[in-house]
Amino acid sequence: MEYLGLTVSSLLTTLFIAFVIVALGFLLGGIKVKGISLGTAGVLLVAIVFGVIFSFVPEIKIGDTTITLWSTSQSFTAITAGNDGMQTVTLKTASVESIFSTISNLGTVMFVTAVGLIAGPKFFRSFNKSMMSYVIMGASVVLAGVLITVVLAAIDSNMSIAMATGLLSGSLTSTPAFGAAKESAGELAGEVTAGYGIGYLYGVLGVVLFVQLMPKLLKVDVAKERESFVAANTIQIKEDGKKRVQIDEFGFFPFFVTIVFGLLIGAIKVPIGGGNYFSFGSSGGTLIAGLIIGHFGKLGGLDMKVSKQTLNFFRELGLVLFLVGAGVPGGVKFISAFNWIYIVYGIIMATIPMVLGFILGKFVFKLSIFNNLGSITGGMTSTPALGSLISVAGTDDVASAYAATYPFALVLIVVSCNLLVLLPF
C-alpha cells in the first residue's frame, strides 16, 4: 500500500493532470449535436470540472500516505512523524491559481502572437473607413456590458460593486480587466476574483456557441460565404526582393522574438489617475507586436516571416494551454462563491452585449457574417471564440476583424473595470 501511495503521489503532478484534462477535453469537444460542438472549449469545461473536484477533494489518502493535491493558499501545514514524536511543519507550495496561471499565460501569449502574425500582413493594408465600424462595435459591446453591470449592482443591494465588476470581467473573458479591478478593489479583491470565476464559464462557452449558432440560425451558406469573404480579403503583398537571413526553417526565432517585444509593450504602465495604471498586459502587448512584425516581416537584415503551419500549430497549442490554465482555477473560484443569481447576471452581461453588437454589425455597418462574428469575438476579448470561429469559417482571415476590434475593446474594458469597482454601491 505504501508503494501504491508513493506511485500515485509521483503521478499526480501538474503535468500529468494537465494532459489528462486536454485529452478528455478533446474527447468531449469532438461530440456533435445537430452540427454544434464545443470544440476546443471542451477542454475548458473539463478543466473547470477538475477545479471543482480539487475544491472538494484537496487531498487523498492511500494507506498511511496522505497526498495533498493542491493548496488553495501559498502554504499548508504538514504533520510528520519524527524520532521525538509528531512534528508540525509548514511547507511552502504554490496555490492552484499560481500553478495554472503560468500555463494560462504561456498559452495566451502563444495564441495571441500567432493571431497577430497571421493578421499582420493584411491588417494595416486594409486599415480604411471600415475600421471605424470595428472600433464602434468593440466600444458598444463593452459599454453595454458596463451599463448592465451598473444597473444590476444598483438593483441588487446584496451584490457589491466588486462582485459585479468581477462578473463583468469574467463575462467578457478579460483577464487584464480582472487584474485591474482586483488591484483597485483593495480589501474586496476576493469578491472580484469570485465574480470573475462565476462569470467566466458562460463568458467563454456562450460566445463559442454564439459564433456557431448564428450562421445556422440565419441559414448561411458557409462555403459560399467563405468564398466571397476570402476574395474580398485577398490583398496582393509586394515583396521587396531583398534576401534576408533566416535563422531557422520553422520560424521559431521570429515567433519568440515577437513574444519578447510583445511582453515589453505589455509591461508599459500608463497612469490614469487615482494611483491606477493602464497596461495592455501580455495579451494586448503580444497582439500589437504580432501585428507590427507580421506587417513588416523583417527586422533589419533578419527574415521575420513565420510559416503558416508553424503559426497554426502555436495558435492551437496556445489556445489549449490557455483553456487548461484558466479553467482549473476558474472551477475552484466558481464553487467558492456559487450563487444562482450571479450566474444569471453573468449570462445577461455576456448575452445582451453580444446580441446588440451583432445587430449593429449586420444592420448598421452591413458587415459580412464572418467579419461581424470576428468583431464580436474581439469585442468580447474571447480567445476561445476566435478559435471556434476560425473552425466554422474555414479561413484564418476572420482573425483580421478580431485583431481590429480587440485592442480598442481591451483598453475600454480594462479602464472601465478599474473605475467601476470604485463606485459607491
Tens digits of per-residue pLDDT, 99-117?
Answer: 777 888 888 889 888 878 8
As a whole number of Å, the end-to-end CA separation of the chain is: 56
User: Three cell numbers at 292?
Assistant: 507590427
What is the band of 301 on the pLDDT scale with cuts at 50, 70, 90?
confident
What is the band of 257 on the pLDDT scale with cuts at 50, 70, 90?
very high
Predicted local confidence at residue 62, as pLDDT = 61
Query: Do residues 217 and 358 make contact, with C-beta atoms less than 8 angstroms apart?
Result: no
Predicted local confidence at residue 74, as pLDDT = 44
Is pLDDT above 90 for 168? Answer: yes
Of 110-119, 165-174, 356-365, give the range with the top mean pLDDT.
356-365
CA distance 98 to 395: 35
Predicted local confidence at residue 376, as pLDDT = 93
CA distance 405 to 138: 5
What is the band of 363 on the pLDDT scale with cuts at 50, 70, 90?
very high
Predicted local confidence at residue 79, as pLDDT = 47
Of 21-25, 117-121, 333-337, give the range with the top mean pLDDT.
21-25
What is the band of 364 on the pLDDT scale with cuts at 50, 70, 90?
very high
Rounded to an integer, the average pLDDT of 193-204 is 81
User: Three cell numbers at 158?
Assistant: 446584496
Is pLDDT above 80 for 160? Answer: yes
Whether the pTM exceeds 0.95: the reply is no
Is pLDDT above 80 for 264? Answer: yes
Tens digits of per-residue pLDDT, 79-102?
Answer: 445 555 554 444 444 566 677 778
What is the band of 358 on the pLDDT scale with cuts at 50, 70, 90?
very high
Predicted local confidence at residue 70, as pLDDT = 56
Q: Distance of CA 180 to CAs 183, 192, 400, 425, Å?
A: 5, 10, 27, 18
Mean pLDDT of the chain: 80
Contacts 24+ apart (CB under 8 A), 5-8: 5/62, 5/63, 5/64, 5/65, 5/67, 6/65, 8/60, 8/62, 8/65, 8/67
Is pLDDT above 70 for 58? Answer: no
E strands, 249-353, in order: 270-273, 276-278, 298-299, 302-303
% of residues, the chain, pLDDT over 90: 18
Place of cell 503532478: 13
**Partners of residue 40 on adjacent β-strands:** none
Q: Which helix (H) or strand (E) holds 279?
A: none
Q: Residue 405's Cα: distance from chain center in Å?
A: 15
Rounded to an integer, the average pLDDT of 227-250 is 76
Is pLDDT above 80 for 303? Answer: yes
User: Angle 272-275-281 (CA atoms, 0-180°, nearest 5)?
Assistant: 60
Burial class (CB in 10 A: 0-12, 13-18, 19+), 30: exposed
CA distance 381 to 109: 14
